[in-house]
């Protein structure tokens, strides 16, 4: 467990918090409870009061149908490092096995496995593309095809107050879903970079996040944040945990999907 460090620019503009950076990557065996790292969150960005999901009560069947339709595109990612197992989530990109997730989910894992359904023996996966400073990675699992790729949305067209659904392996529980709204857009956050042989240690990951009040927990890292059309508009990555306090309910962060699209594009042009 690393010690939080501040790096404040202005005490009036920034708030120092602590984020579980297996941020939302849950340790489930052998005491691997997830490491902690400092994160700076700028107070600017478009915001709105947290008021719960809007406009859903009159469409009571909409969210269950969305979850049933999108679940086949969401996978559990198991990783092993120094005898410990941790769990995260991934989003299927192609029918032949490319999967998007957070970099911190698969770093510094010695072994990566993917489960498409609960209880399945994990299929071996390999890291094929990584953007450590964006906290994004693409892994590949060998299959015979037939997977269900997720539909990717446009995170530049989002609005504060818009209803969203987060899906993932929350606390190791496959296919967990939570409903919320977009609480803010373009929320600048910074976290120390995951240390691995693929990336220099001591760097900082900085991105303008989607803030949501949808419940996020360890295990959600790398999982999708859906809009009500079932399109992925963000990759769930972090939760707000003030120093010496329990995690704050209803303040979670996702990397905009348009940031991830560039990583995916680079992979395709490199012939990955």
Query: Residue 109, SS3?
Result: coil
* Cα 41 to Cα 63: distance, rounded to the nearest angstrom: 30
CA-based nearest residue to 73, from 138, 148, 140? 148
104, 107, 129, 183: which one is catalytic?
A: 104
Residue with tokens 């910074």: 190
213 is catalytic: no
For the chain, the helix, strand and coil percentages under 3-state DSSP, each to the nearest 5: 15, 45, 40
Say what the alpha-carbon torsion angle 251, 254, 256, 257 is, to the nearest 10 degrees: -140
135 is catalytic: yes
* Cα 52 to Cα 38: distance, rounded to the nearest angstrom: 28
Residues 174 and 162 sit within 8 Å (Cβ to Cβ): no
Residues 74 and 116 sit within 8 Å (Cβ to Cβ): no
Residue with tokens 């709204």: 181
135, 155, 213, 237: which one is catalytic?
A: 135
Give the rounded distance of the alpha carbon of 91 from its chain centre: 10
Residue with tokens 């400092």: 38
129, 170, 221, 237: which one is catalytic?
A: 221
Residue with tokens 């240390």: 195
227 is catalytic: no
Q: Which sequence positions are flagged as catalytic?
A: 104, 135, 221
């Amino acid at each position: 467990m690393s010690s939080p460090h501040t790096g404040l620019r202005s005490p009036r503009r920034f708030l120092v918090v602590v984020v579980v950076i297996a941020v939302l990557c849950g340790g489930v065996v052998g005491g691997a409870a997830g490491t902690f790292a400092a994160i700076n969150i700028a107070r600017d960005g478009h915001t709105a009061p947290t008021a719960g999901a809007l406009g859903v009560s009159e469409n009571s069947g909409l969210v269950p149908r969305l979850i049933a339709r999108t679940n086949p595109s969401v996978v559990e990612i198991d990783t092993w490092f120094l005898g410990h197992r941790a769990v995260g989530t991934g989003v299927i990109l192609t029918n032949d096995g490319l999967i998007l997730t957070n970099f911190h989910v698969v770093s510094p894992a010695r072994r990566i496995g993917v489960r498409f359904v609960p209880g399945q023996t994990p299929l071996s996966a390999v890291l094929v593309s990584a953007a450590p400073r964006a906290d994004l990675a693409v892994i590949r699992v060998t299959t015979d095809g037939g997977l269900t790729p997720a539909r990717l949305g446009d995170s530049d067209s989002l609005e504060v107050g818009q209803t969203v659904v987060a899906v993932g392996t929350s606390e190791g529980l496959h296919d967990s879903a939570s409903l919320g709204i977009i609480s803010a857009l373009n929320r600048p956050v910074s976290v120390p970079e995951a240390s691995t042989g693929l990336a220099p240690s001591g760097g900082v990951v900085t991105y303008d996040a989607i803030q949501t009040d949808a419940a996020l927990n360890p295990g959600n890292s790398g999982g999708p944040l859906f809009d009500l059309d079932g399109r992925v508009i963000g990759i769930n990555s972090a939760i707000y945990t003030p120093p010496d306090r329990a995690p704050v309910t209803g303040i979670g962060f996702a990397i905009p999907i348009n940031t991830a699209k560039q990583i995916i594009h680079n992979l395709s042009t490199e012939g990955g």
